[in-house]
Amino acid sequence: MVKMQKIPTIFYGTAWKKDRTAKLVEQAILTGFRGIDTACQPKHYEEAGVGEAIRQVEKKGVKRNELFLQTKFTPINGQDPKRIPYDPKAKLPDQVKQSFETSQRNLGSDYIDSLILHSPLADMKRTLEVWKTFELLFKEKLVGHIGISNCYDLKVFKLLYENAEVKPKFLQNRFYRETKYDKTLRKFCHENKVIYQSFWTLTANDHILSHPKFQTIAKECKKTEAQILFRYLTQIGIVPLIGTTSEKHMKEDLALSQFRLNEIDMQIIESLFN
């Protein structure tokens, strides 16, 4: 049974953490993160490690209902052929259900706050077939929100949105120059109350972080470059995924709410994304 949680303004991303997942997620939660992003995709995520971290922090006073857990159904083409967490020969709706049940076991939770389709499928018919199964899980109150990731085509996202009975709450995309920072997609999201989540936010934007104008803002604010970029994004309504393995950086990233960029600095940073 879903107990709706407030959507965090930043998430801790757990991809590529491997055998360090449990330790790092526990550290992130104890430091103050409440949004955790993972996936039922053994190729890149150790989802069971997230579940182990949840068990450990509960012993230290952080209850499950204080956390916002987000996981994903990953289609076959995004899985390691040797480690697919569902029957690849099953029909799509059954693949989704089996994946979701695996996530429930991995995370030790009967409900998931947010379920994301890791990427559109080969065609819209198949994408909508998966989405209809997501909607069933939502209606059964096993999931609080549903969304999609790695969807960079506005036409595809619009088709999904228009055909969905339960509208996507989240669009989670790589935030980088090659897609012009999804400006048209983000505009559509803003107009339709879809929350845009960003990943690969620091890695793909070294040219922004190292820009003299950006460096000047960081120095004047006495903040790190990462803090400035993440604060800029949260002020324009983007929810960044943060995957740092440093406790120091975790604390810095959680301090975003303690300062605010002024309008001039916001405009300068905006100009760097053009």
Residue 187 has pLDDT above 70, yes or no: yes
Distance CA 196, CA 190 (A): 8
The mean pLDDT of the chain is 97
As a whole number, mean pLDDT of residues 167-178 equals 98
pLDDT score for 4:
62
- What are 91-101's pLDDT values in tens digits? 999 999 999 99
- What are 78-131's pLDDT values in tens digits? 999 999 999 999 999 999 999 999 999 999 999 999 999 999 999 999 999 999
Q: How confident is the model at residue 274 (pLDDT cuts 50, 70, 90)?
A: confident
* 197: DSSP letter: E
Residue 1 has pLDDT above 60, yes or no: no
Structure tokens at 179: 């897609």
DSSP element (H, E) containing 101 = helix 92-107
Residue whose tokens read 């990943």:
199
pLDDT score for 28:
98
Candidate CATH numbers 3.20.20.100, 3.10.580.10, 3.40.50.720, 3.40.190.80; the one for domain 11-272: 3.20.20.100
Residue 2 has pLDDT above 90, yes or no: no
pLDDT score for 104:
98
Q: What share of the chain is helix, strand, coil (3-state, %, to 5)?
A: 50, 15, 35
Structure tokens at 219: 């120095």
- What are 37-72's pLDDT values in tens digits? 999 999 999 999 999 999 999 999 999 999 999 999
This prediction's pTM: 0.97
Q: What angle is formed at CA 129 by the lines to CA 145 and CA 1, rounded to 5 degrees?
A: 30
pLDDT score for 3:
58
Residue 133 has pLDDT above 70, yes or no: yes
pLDDT score for 5:
76
Q: What are all long-range contacts of 23-30, with beta carbons under 8 Å and residues at least 24 apart?
A: 23/53, 24/53, 24/245, 25/49, 25/50, 25/53, 25/54, 26/52, 26/53, 26/56, 26/57, 27/247, 27/250, 28/250, 29/53, 29/54, 29/57, 29/62, 29/67, 30/57, 30/60, 30/62
What percent of the chain clears pLDDT 90, i.e. is strictly above it? 98
Q: What angle is formed at CA 238 by the lines to CA 195 and CA 78, rounded to 5 degrees?
A: 70
